């Protein structure tokens, strides 16, 4: 992992929807090449924060820098250039059902580059190979399992060789075995090509398996209540909200094991 950075800097971020403040004065940094996880319970603002970072939504207050550029000051054309260096995997994978997997992965290449069709096809095959979907370019999303759809979504997100990859609940809807396989893939991609990854998840297995650092959001606090290595926070945190979250999740897993 490259410890130089930060490549993302969030400072004093406040998000409001009408009179409802979801996040209040949130600040943190993401370093180049790390797997950075945004975690917390339901409704704490994890996905909202992700949308703010990538510019889908605009904050009420605060600043967001990506590679030194304040994205909150950019117009649509300038933000579009920033987006060329960012890949995004949405929670639903967001694949177009009427298009083959190959056609889905080729979309960013067709939109943002002037490459000829043969070159695009070669890149698509390479990206699918990277996520262990070689030979599936002519399949439709309906013909793939949930885990394979997630992999296809990652392939599309990586089509333009982004320096940063954002993943919103990548394990959502997957069984434990498939989720673990996806964790292995994410870690392999990070180690192999050094892509900075920002991941939203509440799955402790994923957090402990792949993250270098985390921030933990809390709904009532409307912000960050813990930051650092989750393995240390699990045992060393003196905040009961943090330890209760970890222990509750562990208890849930034990109860699941007793009832299966």
Per-residue model confidence as pLDDT tens digits over 124-177: 999 999 999 999 999 999 999 999 999 999 999 999 999 999 999 998 889 999
Structure tokens at 214: 């985390």
Residues 81 and 95 in one domain: no
> What is the 3-state secondary structure of the chain?
CCCCCCCEEEEEEEEEECCEEEEEEEEEEECCCCEEEEEECCCCCHHHHHHHHHCCCCCCEEEEEECCEEHHHCCHHHHHHHHCCEEEECCCCCCCCCCCHHHHHHHHHHHHCCCCHHHHHHHHHHHHHHCCCCCCCCCCHHHCCHHHHHHHHHHHHCCCCCCEEEEECCCCCCCHHHHHHHHHHHHHHHHHHCCEEEEECCCHHHHHHHCCEEEEEECCCCEEEEEECHHHHHHHCCCHHHHHHHHHHHHHHHHHHHHC
174 and 53 assigned to the same domain: yes
Angle at 138 between CA 135 and CA 144, to 5 degrees: 80
Please check whether residues 98 and 189 belong to one and the same domain. no
Q: Tokens standing for 87?
A: 């890949």
Same domain, 102 and 201: no
Q: Can you give the pLDDT at residue 251? A: 46
Task: Name the band, by pLDDT with cuts 50, 70 and 90, for residue 249.
Answer: low
Domain finish residue from 161, 195, 214? 161
Same domain, residue pair 171 and 223: yes
Residue 66 and residue 175 share a domain: yes
Residues 92 and 218 in one domain: no
Examine residue 95 and state whether it is found in any structural domain, yes or no.
Answer: yes
Range of the domain at 155: 86-161
State whether 34 and 107 are in the same domain. no
pLDDT at 70 over 60: yes
Same domain for 206 and 147: no
The CATH number of residue 172's host domain is 3.40.50.300
What domain count does the chain have? 2
Check whether residue 64 and residue 4 sit in a common domain.
yes
Residue 248 lies in a domain: no
Last residue of a domain, one of 106, 139, 161: 161
pTM (predicted TM-score)? 0.89
- Same-domain status, 125 and 173: no
Query: Are 60 and 16 spatial neighbours (Cβ–Cβ below 8 Å)?
Result: yes
Query: Do 76 and 197 have their domain in common?
Result: yes
Q: Report d(CA 79, CA 74) in Å as an integer.
A: 6
Residues in the chain: 260
* 260 in any annotated domain: no
pLDDT digits (tens, 9 = 90+) for 104-115: 999 999 988 889
């Amino acid at each position: 992992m490259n410890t130089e950075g930060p490549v993302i800097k969030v400072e004093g971020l406040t998000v409001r929807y009408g009179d409802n403040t979801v996040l209040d004065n949130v600040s943190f940094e993401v370093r180049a090449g790390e797997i950075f996880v945004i975690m917390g319970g339901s409704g704490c603002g994890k996905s909202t924060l992700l949308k703010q970072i990538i510019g889908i939504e605009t904050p009420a207050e605060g600043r967001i820098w990506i590679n030194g550029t304040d994205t909150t000051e950019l117009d649509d054309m300038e933000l579009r250039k920033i987006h060329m260096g960012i890949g995004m995997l949405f929670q639903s994978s967001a694949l177009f059902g009427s298009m083959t997997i190959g056609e889905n992965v080729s979309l960013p290449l067709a939109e943002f580059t002037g490459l000829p069709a043969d070159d695009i096809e070669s890149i698509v095959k390479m990206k699918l190979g990277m996520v262990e979907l070689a030979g599936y370019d002519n399949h439709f999303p309906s013909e793939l399992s949930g885990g394979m759809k997630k992999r296809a979504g990652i392939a599309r997100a990586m089509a333009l060789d982004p320096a940063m990859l954002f993943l919103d609940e990548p394990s959502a809807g997957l069984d434990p075995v498939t989720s673990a396989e996806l964790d292995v893939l994410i870690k392999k991609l990070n180690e192999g090509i050094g892509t900075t990854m920002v991941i939203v998840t509440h799955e402790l297995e994923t957090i402990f398996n792949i993250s270098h650092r985390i921030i933990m959001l809390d709904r009532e606090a409307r912000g960050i209540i813990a930051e650092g290595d989750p393995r240390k926070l699990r045992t060393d945190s003196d905040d009961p909200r943090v330890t209760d979250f970890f222990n509750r999740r562990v208890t849930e897993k034990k109860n699941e094991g007793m009832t299966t």
